[in-house]
């Protein structure tokens, strides 16, 4: 194999690697955008859950009181 052939092979490999790096860079950019979007949505969900948590606690207390009353009625 001559030096020119080796240089041609190296050039081809370099071009192929450059193409792969460009594809990977685009993929990473898309993934970063997706992660940013999911992060914002997660932040919104956390805020909504924080708003709902007191309501859940209230409902749980109401259910406990209801069960106690029913248990008391059943014992009578």
3-state helix/strand/coil string of the chain: CCHHHHHHHHHHHHHHHHHHHHHHHHHHHHHHHHHHHHHHHHHHHHHHHHHHHHHHHHHHHHHHHHHHHHHHHHHC
HSE, CB side, 13 Å, CA atoms: give it for residue 20.
Answer: 6
Model pLDDT, residue 1: 83
Q: What is the mean pLDDT of the chain?
A: 94
Model pLDDT, residue 22: 97
pLDDT digits (tens, 9 = 90+) for 34-65: 999 999 999 999 999 999 999 999 999 999 99
Give 75's pLDDT tier (boundaries 50, 70, 90). confident
Residue 73 has pLDDT above 90, yes or no: no
pTM beyond 0.75? no
């Amino acid at each position: 194999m001559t030096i020119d052939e080796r240089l041609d092979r190296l050039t081809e490999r370099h071009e192929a690697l450059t193409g792969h790096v460009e594809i990977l860079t685009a993929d990473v950019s898309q993934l970063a955008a997706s992660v940013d979007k999911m992060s914002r949505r997660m932040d919104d969900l956390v805020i909504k859950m924080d708003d709902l948590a007191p309501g859940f606690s209230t409902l749980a207390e109401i259910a406990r009181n209801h069960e106690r009353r029913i248990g008391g009625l059943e014992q009578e």
